[in-house]
Amino acid sequence: MGIKPSCQKIEEERTVFLTKENEVYRIPSLFYDRDNKIFMAFAEQRSTADDADAKQLVMKTGTLKMEESTGVRTIEWSELKVVKEAHLKGHRPMNPCPVYEKTSKTLFLFFICVKDGITESWQIKKGHNKTRLCYITTKDGGQTWNSGADWLHHHDIKKRKWATFAVGPGHGIQTESGRLIIPTYAYASCSTSYCCISRKHYVPHALTLYSDDKGRNWHFSRMLKTESLECEMAELSDDHIYCNARSKGDNRVEAIDKGAGFETVPSAGKLVETGGGCQGSVVSFPAVSEGATSDSSPNKWLLYTHPSDQCKRIALGVYLNKTPQDPNGWSKPWIINSGPSGYLDLAYIGDGWFACLMESGVHKETEQIKCEVFHYSQVENGIAGKEIVFN
């Protein structure tokens, strides 16, 4: 069912970044800080919707509030702030992707910086990487950031000789064992990839950037064997990592790492890819027992969001999987935005509550980035086809 806001005021409060003349907001990323109970929303500010016109990264912080009379839950957002530290001269910052290290209470904001005037397609055609991997950190909810870190000369990137690469966009995760994981994809030549058409042909594959020492040192994992692009990861039980990636085919790419690297799971055809492809988001959360939500459950379920139409970026769907290692376990989608819908990011708040930061609009998905807050019970009812009013 589509969104049925209780009033226009509530609908306006859902807007986080609103596109204006010569000011377009794209590529949302969402993080919820459980320690301080605040949201951090990131996006690219562009002069047009085109990737080559990205200018800077911006952010807002938010707190969850509830209207006592109606029970409607919304997020109260701060004023927009430019993340000035996410900057590299002569480059445009793109693809915000945060990950939180719980022990040191440090938020790492990863992003890429692409040389001005250079497109992704140019890099792929020429096989000449003009992208840098960067990150900044904060310990006070984004009030202050450290100086940026530039990984241009990191040996791991140089020796791989990728045509180009990117992190996220979306969010990273920290596993129960403490490993930090940033979703990544890269265009590798067929001589170093899993195909063999020609040395000058570059193919994208998802992989992870990870750290086992609280962010002091970072490494790249092996690539998925299947062609795959923008991705997100979620931790399942037994330290298994689930990957959901954009594809160039009819269905999403799903893979699971049980400790020996990602292995692609055969598609059940339940998670369709939108024509031309689109980024999607996935989170794991504690399994629900007899209708009650408890964050103490050791078992994990998956929630996934993505435009559900196979041709256009419309009809944003929420999918549920109670058997995460089985691609047949995915439910049909609950449609939370029936109109134009694009890139998005999910966050699990706790106690069965979720937030989804999404590109949406009336005529095109680049009109605004808004945020919906919903409960697991609404997901169940929505999947069952029951009338849902957001609260």
Distance of CA 124 to the CA centre of its chain: 23
| pLDDT digits (tens), the chain, 391 positions | 444 443 444 466 689 999 999 999 999 999 999 989 999 999 999 999 999 999 999 999 999 998 777 767 889 999 999 999 999 999 999 999 999 999 999 999 999 999 999 999 999 999 999 999 999 999 999 999 987 665 544 556 777 889 999 999 999 999 999 999 999 999 998 755 555 544 568 999 999 999 999 999 899 999 999 999 999 999 998 779 999 999 999 999 999 999 889 999 999 999 999 999 999 999 999 999 866 666 767 789 999 999 999 999 999 999 999 999 999 999 999 999 999 999 999 999 999 999 999 999 999 999 999 999 999 999 999 999 876 655 5
pLDDT at 289: 81
DSSP, collapsed to helix, strand or coil, labels residue 328 as: helix
Domain ranges of the chain: 19-193+203-384
Catalytic pick among 202, 304, 343, 348: 343
The DSSP secondary structure of 212-231, one letter per residue, reads SSTTSS-EE-PPPSS---SE
β-bridge mates for residue 100, sequence order: 107
Structure tokens at 206: 């998802």
Question: Three-state SS for 327?
Answer: helix
- Decide: helix, strand or coil at residue 133: strand
What is the distance between the alpha carbons of residues 137 and 58, in angstroms, rounded to a whole number?
A: 15
In the prediction, which pLDDT does 1 show? 42
Residue 157: its H or E element: helix 155-160
Tell me whether residue 343 is one of the annotated catalytic residues.
yes
- Give the global pTM: 0.92
* Residue in 120, 254, 273, 359 annotated catalytic: 359
Question: Is 359 labeled as catalytic in the residue annotation?
Answer: yes
| 135, 147 contact by CB (below 8 A) | no
Using the CB atoms, write b or e for 181-198: b if 16+ within 10 Å. bbbbbbbbbeeebeeeee
Residue 68: per-residue pLDDT: 74
Check residue 155 and give its pLDDT.
Answer: 54
Residue the block writes with tokens 């990592």: 241
What is the C-alpha to C-alpha distance for residues 359 and 313, in angstroms, rounded to an integer?
10
CATH, range 19-193+203-384: 2.120.10.10
| Active-site hit among 51, 101, 212, 380 | 51
The answer, yes or no, to whether the previous bond of 169 is cis (omega within 30 of 0) is: yes
pLDDT at 260: 86
DSSP state letters, 12-24: HHHEEEE-BTTBE
Q: What is the pLDDT of residue 26?
A: 98
Report residue 256: phi and psi, to 5°. Answer: -135, 135
